[in-house]
Amino acid sequence: MTNSSQVIYFTLTAYFDIGSLKYLYFMMVMCFYVLIISCNVLLIVVICLNRTLHEPMFLFLCSLFVNELYGSLGLFPFLLVQILSDVHSVSAPLCFLQIFCVYSYAAVEVLNLAVMSYDRYVAICFPLQYSSTMTDRKVALLIALTWALPVLATVVLVSLSAPLQLCGNVIDKVFCGNFSIVKLSCSNTSINNVYGLVLTVVSIVAPLVLILYTYGKILEVCFCATKQTRQKAVSTCTPHLASILNFSFGCCFQILQSRFDLSRVPPVLAIVSSLYFLTCQPLFNPALYGLKMAAIRDACKRLLCGENSASAAAFHA
């Protein structure tokens, strides 16, 4: 093998023999995937069909739910096939396609969360200027940039990794990762390493700094605000902060899995930690926002139970 174009397939060695239990795991993962699709699709439909939810905050949420579907699509069908397969390998083109999906999903996720924090910052710190600041055009532009920039950045990442000369085809993971491909290279990877570092800073660190700054300003306002304003800020910001923390934990697990030797860690724990941000985040977000935000809960009731049932429930409450 002289270069990646001659690598027909990659072997994934993180899988281990589970015998007939693979059918049980397959059904569990399938149910989990169906639940993720159902929850995210439901909330997307609810937001799209209710004109009262056509506000910046809910439009950004809709973009977030679409990204959860996209990210889970890049993993779960592949994972289901590998669970049932006796030979855990993946073709080179499919491997690079999965790298593109996983990395672009992560970048869109953190950028979307940063945009949502900016929206809450404007709404809480500058409520009188909110309507003039968060115009329909600006919201559409922010959503477009949230998707376009990560996609372009990930295209460059994959374009740098695909031509590398490889000295092997064994990946010690349950799915394809860019760093795993770079480690297999027997050619100069300095450009890949520099671009990977820059991409991490721009797509992960910079949005997190923006999030910390906006919430620092929100806390300043809350300390000086009335009790009603503080309660409103807490009700709208708590789900967002929980989502950020959950995703950050998942990213930390993924970095540890990729950069450090975890051979002493039990295989099941290593697999779960590496898949955390791709499996828990797509279910965590719709469940969190669906339960915590009254506007979404009421819209779901009207959609699932009908207008009269929702009105009766509200009357009795």
Average pLDDT of the chain to the nearest whole number:
84
Q: Does CATH place domain 4-316 in 1.50.10.20? A: no
Q: How much is the average pLDDT of 260-264?
A: 64
pLDDT at site 38: 92
Residue whose C-alpha is closest to residue 43's, from 301, 305, 312, 306: 301
Q: How much is the average pLDDT of 10-24?
A: 85
Query: What's the distance, Cα to Cα, between the start and end of the chain in Å?
Result: 69
Q: How much is the average pLDDT of 3-16?
A: 75
Residue whose C-alpha is closest to residue 113's, from 239, 300, 265: 239
| pTM, entire model | 0.87
Domain ranges (residues) in the chain: 4-316
pLDDT at 317 over 70: no
Q: How much is the average pLDDT of 165-181?
A: 88
Question: pLDDT tens digits, residue range 21-57?
Answer: 889 989 999 999 999 999 999 999 999 988 888 899 9
Question: pLDDT tens digits, residue range 71-122?
Answer: 999 999 999 999 988 888 999 999 999 999 999 999 999 999 999 999 999 9
Strand order in the sheet with 9-12: 89-91, 9-12, 170-171
* pLDDT band for position 134 (cuts 50, 70, 90): very high
CA dist 66 → 35, 88, 162, 245 (Å): 15, 29, 28, 20
